[in-house]
Amino acid sequence: MKALPLKEILAVIDGEVIAGSSEFEIIDVKTSSPGLRNGTLFFHTKKGLTIDQNFNRYKKRVAIVTDKKIDLDQLNDNVTLITVDNSVNALASFTSYYRGLFTIPVVGITGTAGKTTTKEMLAHILRGEQNVQCTYKSMNGIVLNLKYLLGINEDTDVAVFEMGVSYPGNIRKSGAVFKPSIGMITNIGTAHLETCKTLERYIGAKGEMLEALDYKGQLLLNSDDENIKKIDLHPFKGQVYYFGQKSECAYRISQIEYAAEKMVFQLHVKGHSSKRVYVPGLGEQCVYNAAAAIAAAHLTGMDLSSCIERIGSFKQMERHVSVERGLNRATIIDDTWNSNPSSAYAALKVLQKIAENKKSVAVFGKLQRLGAKQHEEHVKLGARMKELGISCLITIGKDAQDIGDAAIQAGIAQANVFNVLSAEELQEKLLSITDENTVVLLKMSLDKMDQSYRRQIMTIKSTEN
């Protein structure tokens, strides 16, 4: 965080000091009490949290902003107490002011699948020349927005923020904090229906990116995504750029090829000669992520050739279509970071491509966050197995059994479809049906499963079995 005099902040939030001194600098801002340090500004916004003697245990110079009546006898002499009409509004005023201190490019990224990888790719490209502040891995909850914003300081050249959707309104709230100058929607599939209820509402929630941009600035969209086309762009007054395989794209993809542990494609950018791009990772989704990241970096002002050179040294994220040798010398595709319909179909295409004439085994846990649509999406997924040439299917748990039932209905032999109820049973089944001429796809949201599966999958990925 850029250090700010408390007096400067008081003017921004229209706060009145009723106890303590205002003659010190603020170097941190929090909305939760653990970990307060000298120079912390604490906004008392949470219902049920009382300001009492617990604050005395820190014995730090802190300032508290509150709209509640506080017993001054409860606080030690190091605490400055500031009253405001509304603590939530005061916090919003502060975050808006702090964001306004910086005129750097800020990129906001959302999408159903690939947004974390695209964000990591973009940050990697930009770090070749600039100091970058970005969200950590896939931790994009709105409760972390303040922390990420405060990561911007005088040394920051550009910021890259992943903006997720758990509920409608999430991107609107994140946009109010980050105020991106460049927005990106990687794709929109079926996800978060337990909270958004319908695909239409979910598409609308992703479309809040336009509002996050204040209907101006630069917007990057996937031209080949059918759901993105449903977003009404008429209110948007900024510049829209497309990436994808359509001829009208500002960043056009062509000649996609699989190579050893990487994808190769041609990138056509208006005003530039065609460029050959090499990106670590496998699958067409990797190509689209890379093209989107290159496009965003280019829009921040980075040289196109430098962007393409940097993407070649990107280190693939763990458990994102990672390929290695494992159990019985079989080829293991680990895609266990997350599982929704979009990422499931993308992973199956990679399995189909890598397996070719080998035996292909797909291992699926249930698709996540689909609410009442889970069974319907499981049936659709299972019905695709025969078409994609999957040799064997293993589903994990009773919640995923309907994927296997649909695969049998689609024509996969019942003898090649299995349902396991434990991590140990999964390993035993794979031991019995795999060899060095087998390719296994592990597709599930591993962090949402029993820890025994994490341990067992480490064993499955080991060549010592």
Q: Which residue has the higher pLDDT, 159 or 50?
A: 159
- Opening angle at CA 191, ends 189 and 192, nearest 5: 150
pLDDT one-digit tens code per residue, 358-379: 999 999 999 999 999 999 999 9
* Alpha-carbon gap, residue 433 to 415, rounded angstroms: 12
pLDDT of 34 strictly over 80:
no
Cα torsion through 446, 449, 455, 460, rounded to 10: -60
Q: How far is CA 266 from CA 35, 243, 260, 273, 334, in A?
A: 49, 12, 17, 10, 27
In the prediction, which pLDDT does 452 show? 96
Domains located in the chain, CATH noted: 4-86 (3.40.1390.10), 102-311 (3.40.1190.10), 322-460 (3.90.190.20)
pLDDT one-digit tens code per residue, 285-316: 999 999 999 999 999 999 999 999 999 999 99
67 by Cβ neighbours in 10 Å (0-12 / 13-18 / 19+) ranks as middle
* β-strand partners of 62: 40, 79
In the prediction, which pLDDT does 55 show? 65
pLDDT one-digit tens code per residue, 215-232: 999 999 999 999 999 999
Single-letter amino acid code for the residue at 67: D
* Alpha-carbon gap, residue 461 to 333, rounded angstroms: 9
* Alpha-carbon gap, residue 440 to 330, rounded angstroms: 7
First to last CA, the chain: 49
Two structure tokens written together for 239: 């510049």
Whose tokens are 């999964």? That residue is 426
117-152 as b/e: b if 16+ CB within 10 A: bbbbbbbbbbeebbebbbbeebebebeebbbbbbbb
* Alpha-carbon gap, residue 115 to 120, rounded angstroms: 9
In the prediction, which pLDDT does 74 show? 78
pLDDT of 387 strictly over 80:
yes
Two structure tokens written together for 149: 């914003």
* Alpha-carbon gap, residue 160 to 76, rounded angstroms: 40
In the prediction, which pLDDT does 36 show? 84
Alpha helical stretches, state H, 335-450: 341-355, 374-387, 401-410, 423-433
User: Please, what is the average pLDDT of the chain?
Assistant: 95
DSSP state of 357: T
Alpha helical stretches, state H, 68-156: 87-100, 115-126, 145-150
Nearest to 30 by CA among 195, 144, 162: 144
Sorting pLDDT into bands at 50, 70 and 90, what band is 52?
low
412, 386 contact by CB (below 8 A): yes
- Opening angle at CA 151, ends 148 and 154, nearest 5: 145
Whose tokens are 């085994």? That residue is 361
* β-strand partners of 80: 63
